[in-house]
Amino acid sequence: QLQLQESGPGLVKPSETLSLTCTVSGGSISTSYYWGWIRQPPGKGLEWIGSIYYSGSTYYNPSLRSRVTISVDTSKNQFSLKLSSVTAADTAVYYCARATTRDFDFWGQGSLVTVSS
């Protein structure tokens, strides 16, 4: 059974860069799927951040594109998220997920990241 697990700091200071890694187990990241990041502010809805193919091809939410970088490390079966110049509005639970071209079929449990000084 495919499993995804997010990891990274739970607290980030304003104006700094948020960094998270998703480790994929039970299957290879080098398959015909994309791998995505989605976030959920406390008590609010879901927002897609961006996705990456194992070859490195990426696409991002236009509203976050200027601050987001997603990368992949096939040797570690991992992909990562970097979000720069964070503010309190970036406080959220961040999920990683396997993505088809039109849905997300496997999700991680989520990682809460708080932006605060």
Partner 1 sequence: QSALTQPRSVSGSPGQSVTISCTGTSSDVGGYNYVSWYQQHPGKGPKLMIYDVSKRPSGVPDRFSGSKSGNTASLTISGLQSEDEADYYCCSYAGMYTHYVFGTGTKVTVL
Binding site residues, partner 1, CB under 8 A = 38, 45-48, 51, 59, 61-63, 95, 97, 100-110
3-state secondary structure 22-50: EEEECCCCCCCCEEEEEEECCCCCCEEEE
Report how far residue 79's alpha carbon sits from residue 37's, in angstroms, rounded to the nearest whole number: 10
Q: Smallest gap, in angstroms, from Cβ of residue 84 to partner 1?
A: 21
**Considering beta carbons, is residue 8 or 48 the nearer one to partner 1?**
48
**Considering beta carbons, is residue 1 or 75 the nearer one to partner 1?**
1
**Considering beta carbons, is residue 45 or 55 the nearer one to partner 1?**
45
**Considering beta carbons, is residue 14 or 26 the nearer one to partner 1?**
26
Helices and strands of the chain, counted as H and E runs:
0, 11
Q: Smallest gap, in angstroms, from Cβ of residue 69 to partner 1?
A: 17
Report how far residue 2's alpha carbon sits from residue 5's, in angstroms, rounded to the nearest whole number: 10
Q: Smallest gap, in angstroms, from Cβ of residue 93 to partner 1?
A: 9
Q: Smallest gap, in angstroms, from Cβ of residue 21 to partner 1?
A: 16
Report how far residue 93's alpha carbon sits from residue 75's, in angstroms, rounded to the nearest whole number: 26
